[in-house]
Structure 1
């Protein structure tokens, strides 16, 4: 039996797909690429934007074309938010939400045996128990995602995620430590701590353990050489937190601080829990204490009511703080959110224009940031072959600069001193020392 996965969206989804993959492998399935013939197709969906829903439907159609007799299982955020809509898509056999992925084999087998559609989507707003989806054997051996938290209590006005993922729930610290030690034993050099709202880790646990406490504990585990944090709320970085993380030897100097807008009026309508000045203070504090730090972010353009003046405030703010990279998203109204009902929705052409301006600014900032490190020597974790060339490998510096170097042997999974000497469009050419 063969199984194929299509994973859309965030790093949490990537982790959960890896965990489901392992369950199929234990049942003697062969994992094949999504463009191949398979007996089971699993689409792990995203619903952050309308495009996420559209891509999910496209993946369902592609699977059905490749094997009309396959079992198609749709899981994740899109099916959690709209189970009736997903179940009515032609060819869908299994519909699971965000907290049922651990039972994927059971529901696939039932659908096959009973020749009937299986729908199991629970009310996540009533469920605040962390679903254990441990991974013992990753398919790659360089860096591993580790899901430590699920759910979100923030309810930003544009976001469906609290309804798709439920309230904050955290993986118990002893379980996290067990999994990290297992990853180290299996040869992993780097782990990425991921969650839906990672900064909230521990608020639901007895003893009020925090993310910083967890980082300090992981930092002491032998074998793991790098720790990264997934997307993190800027409010996490208080002065006390920064004072503690600068003492961590393994925490990588790269933080993806969610911003969304550089205009306070827009941030207020978004129901974000900070102002642009608060964000700037965090950026300046991190740069002061960690000189080589890379700070990246997400920006939404065309949020309802965003005037030209508000957009210009965002543009000037971003021009001023010069983040190393920005991911730009055009506002996508999601049914069921407050933002979808707001007046003064922004015209599509205006969104396109604003998006293009920020993409150009991001490209300029990224080029300048990479240029700072030309001529220097940095440690690079090489992850894979570059563009199919067997003597060319790509990897990342601690502050997440992509580097491509030539080598006369397989260096996947190795951390090597590398001289950075030529900047390309999206990476730097390096020479291994």
Structure 2
């Protein structure tokens, strides 16, 4: 039985695809071992979102070959898609499998291991810009036990000036509702209670099948995504639905109202912002204004009681002045997010932003990042305070050590972490994997609510 080890770099979509590739190998009789162990095959699902991600991808490929020089080392994914010519020359890499070819991994490996000849084909990369079919990857089991990330969409048509992903992932391609529902039903039958629908640009789900322009009167067309959510919502035994990152323009009164009418839907929204300054957003080629974004947040707060709104912010984008940064900071203070993911701008070769003038020095980026991280901590704690001394519903997952004590931990619908003292192990075992209404009575840490039955 050949041994295989897999390593994932990058986003939730990559993580889903890595699990799907692992499932392929298990079905073919491979034994899956930890990446640090000696294996016959190493698969690295690479990332290319920044130059740093490229470097980490190369490092992991070289590390795999050092672990076992005789092993077949497979480079898969986004870095492959944008750097296949470079990887062809890399002696550490034996197989190069691009996006939209990952479903063929097991077949490609079987053929490779059967021959083991130098003249065997090495590169399996298609022109992703012309890919129109969604790659059929399917999962029956995941590493977790309560929450499953479900990839429903691939590709992006937005072309933000800092982003390489449209070149690595291609144009928008969507998975059929029937296929998504079948996968969710299978996972629910295995005990999963919650699914997170995710994609490279989730708000674009289904737009390639629409005859009309997907953007109507400045709003993103939500018809196809809403139909998918409703179909998944109808699945018996599923108790929660979350969404991955959303395009702000998809949030309309109609869309928010429709979601609020679905009892299983969790009021947890990740609306990517990137900057609170309109001039910076224009250079980023983001297709909304700060006023428009704020309007969408107001819609969500009218439709849901205390929804969790999270976001991404890039500091130090080319040309960002001190004044522009201060505008962003004041804007963030006004919006009051639950969580912010703060990124220092990282130059990515092949993008428009990489050659823009007025690149911001790294020390300045670090200062601005620190300032926003401090703001994030304060806003996040303030958001969690709302749930102090309240009744909340928690999907309990596992026993975790926090400080020196054991707790059964899980998450509220708003994705606030909660912890129940694990004093009775039998009760904890009974509650794990279930949703239970509990009372909050304070905090275990700044980030974790303390609850009791």
Shorter-chain TM range is: over 0.9
Answering whether residue 422 of structure 2 is matched by residue 403 of structure 1, we say no
Equivalent-residue separation in structure 2 for 1:387 and 1:5 (angstroms) = 28
Please report the RMSD computed on the Cα atoms of aligned residues, expressed in angstroms: 1.9
From 133, 138, 159, the equivalent of 1:134 is 138
1:10-409 alignment, distance < 5 Å: 10-112=11-113, 113-116=115-118, 118-205=122-209, 210-387=224-401, 391-407=406-422, 408-409=425-426
How many correspondences in the alignment?
433
**1:207/1:218 CA distance change after superposition, 3 Å:** farther
Separation of aligned partners in 2, 1:50 and 1:331: 11
Give, in whole Å, the separation in 2 of the partners of 1:197 and 1:159: 12
Deviations 1:239-261 (A, max 9, x none): 22112111011111101110000
2: CA distance between counterparts of 1:158 and 1:71?
A: 34
Distance in 2 (alpha carbons) for counterparts of 1:422 and 1:12? 35
* Structure 1 residues 387 and 2: alpha-carbon distance in aligned structure 2, compared to 1, 3 A threshold: farther
Report the alpha carbon displacement of residue 35 of structure 1 after superposing the two structures with TM: 2.3
Cα offsets for 1:309-361 (capped at 9, x unmatched)? 11111000001111011111111111111111111111111111111111111
For 1:344-389, what per-residue CA distance to the aligned partner results, in whole angstroms no more than 9, with x for missing partners? 1111111111111111111111111112111122121222332499
Question: Tell me, which stretches of 5 or more residues in structure 1 are unaligned?
Answer: none
**Are the equivalent residues in 2 in contact too, given 1:95–1:121 (CA < 8 A)?**
yes
1:430 is aligned to 2:429: no
1-structure distance, mates of 2:302, 2:230: 21
Higher mean alpha-carbon deviation, 141-150 vs 375-384, is at 375-384
In structure 2, what is the Cα distance between the partners aligned to 1:19 and 1:390? 36
> More displaced, 176-185 or 187-196?
176-185
- 1:292 Cα deviation (Å)? 2.4
Give a deviation string over 1:180-200, Cα, whole Å, max 9, x none. 222222221000101110001
Give the stretch that moved more between structures: 385-394 or 238-247.
385-394
- Name the stretch that deviates more: 54-63 or 281-290: 54-63
Residue by residue over 1:150-173, the C-alpha shift from the partner in whole angstroms, topping out at 9 and shown as x without a partner, is 111111011011001111011111
Q: TM-score, normalised by structure 1?
A: 0.95
Q: Secondary structure at the match of 1:98?
A: coil
